[in-house]
Amino acid sequence: MSTSKWTKYITIMILATFITFFFHEISHWLSYELFGYDAGFTLNGASLKDSTIKLSKTHRIVTSASGPLFTIFQGILFYFILRKHNSIMLYPFLFLPFIMRLGASWANQFQPNDEGRISLDLDLNLYAISTIVVAFLFLLVFKISRKNKFSIRLNIITFIISVVLLFGLAFLDAKYKIRFV
């Protein structure tokens, strides 16, 4: 790719990162609100505004699942778009859901997140649901890379940039905690 195409690709990756995280978190927030809870969200977290409220097991599972379900939906949607239209510029919208859930799976070791909490609530191993989600999203990425002939070089570069963006977004969120609601 030319320098201008790489610039455009990286710009789209930045946009895809923010969009992926925003809609993931807004999905959590929406599920809290639909259950009647007063909640808020940032770019990397959603929670009840009253931390003394204890959710039922069912509400915990549903509110934890809502973000990953949207992220999986995004991955599936862009998988089918990319099957029909071989557009490298749309690839980050498939790749970012995979990286986001891979990063979340890794972060389970520090504190259970979405899939980790669901696994524990279902009396499964902490990484059980994460492994299934990450493997599924990886399969979509792998199949599209193969079908559309996206090179290993492109995938390695996309992976590295995605990880930097993921950690950058997590850092910004931890530092500034800008709440949308």
Q: At what angle do helices 57-84 and 3-34 cross, to 10 degrees?
A: 150
pLDDT score for 178 = 87
- What's the one-letter identity of residue 91? Y
Instruction: Write the DSSP assignment of 74-119 as a string of letters.
Output: HHHHHHHHHHHS--GGGTHHHHHHHHHHHHHHHHTTTS--HHHHHH
Give the start-to-end residue ranges of the domains of the chain.
3-176
Q: Is 143 exposed, middle or buried (CB count within 10 Å of its CB: 0-12, 13-18, 19+)?
A: middle
pTM: 0.95
* Residue 3: alpha-carbon gap to chain centroid: 28
- The rounded distance, in Å, linking the Cα atoms of 63 and 79 is 25
Measured CA to CA, the distance from residue 167 to residue 84 in angstroms comes to 32
pLDDT string in tens for the chain (181-residue length): 899 999 999 999 999 999 999 999 999 999 999 999 999 999 999 999 999 999 999 999 999 999 999 999 999 999 999 999 999 999 999 999 999 999 999 999 999 999 999 999 999 999 999 999 999 999 999 999 999 999 999 999 999 999 999 999 999 999 998 899 8
pLDDT of residue 66: 98
